[in-house]
Amino acid sequence: MSSVLAEQDGVVTRITLNRPERRNALSLDTLGELDKALASVPSDARVVVLGGAGPAFSAGHDLAEMIDRPTEFYEELFSRCVEVMQRIHKMPQPVIARVHGVATAAGCQLVAACDLAIASEDARFGTPGVKIGLFCSTPIVPISRAVGPKRSMEMLLTGRQIDAHTAASWGLVNKVVPADQLDHEIDTWVDEIVEFSGPVIGLGKEAFHRQVGLDEPRAYEMAKEVMVVNAEMADAQEGMGAFLEKRTPKWQGQEQS
């Protein structure tokens, strides 16, 4: 059985971690399958929803395969993990994490790496590596960018879990809903996003992730160049014209309802 499932639902690609008996632990093979699924998202997909089967989103790396392994294994494992996180940023489609149950260690990293995250009220988040002598160093990267240094250090140094509402107040997730409303809430966000121009969203997402690592002057310089490119795009011209003419825009390559 595949440890990652991918399903095309109209313009939405739904990717599901499928190791429920292991709390969707991110083994080397699972990370490889996840990377392949993300790379295989069709170009006409508009949004990716990433979730987990069973009682959890993901409990992080599979510790059972990490005992007494050679250096090369650890290098491959963590390199593959980084590749998955960076692929999420590089792909043009927004990626929404559908979070329920635990999202810990590399599972929490995966939530933070997604562009948006909607969580059920039962969700719990944490970076407990310090408790087992394996500090959550790679999760630091997206988590610290999401919640800031003091809160990320609190999670990293204590290993304590935070609940879904705390995660929302800290900026790790966008919204928290009752478990039975999770899919409806995600569909609401998806329906709103797909109303807009896919190429424009892809350009904007790329610009967002590029500017994060720049100082303010360089970020503005880069963003200015992106806006020039964006303004010349057919969808931008159509959108501005439609606004002035008080009509619904007709994006290129997108069926109108």
User: Two tokens at 142?
Assistant: 């997206």
Q: What is the pLDDT of residue 88?
A: 98
Q: What is the pLDDT of residue 213?
A: 85
User: Two tokens at 53?
Assistant: 């089967």
Q: What is the mean pLDDT of each run of 10 residues along the chain (257 residues)?
A: 95 98 98 98 96 98 97 98 97 98 98 98 98 96 96 98 98 98 98 96 96 93 96 96 96 66
Q: What is the pLDDT of residue 256?
A: 44
Q: How far is CA 78 from CA 30, 61, 148, 214, in A?
A: 13, 9, 23, 25
- Specify the pTM: 0.95
Q: What is the pLDDT of residue 255?
A: 55
Q: What is the pLDDT of residue 1?
A: 82
User: Distance between CA atoms of 4 and 56, rounded to whole angstroms?
Assistant: 14
Q: What is the pLDDT of residue 135?
A: 97
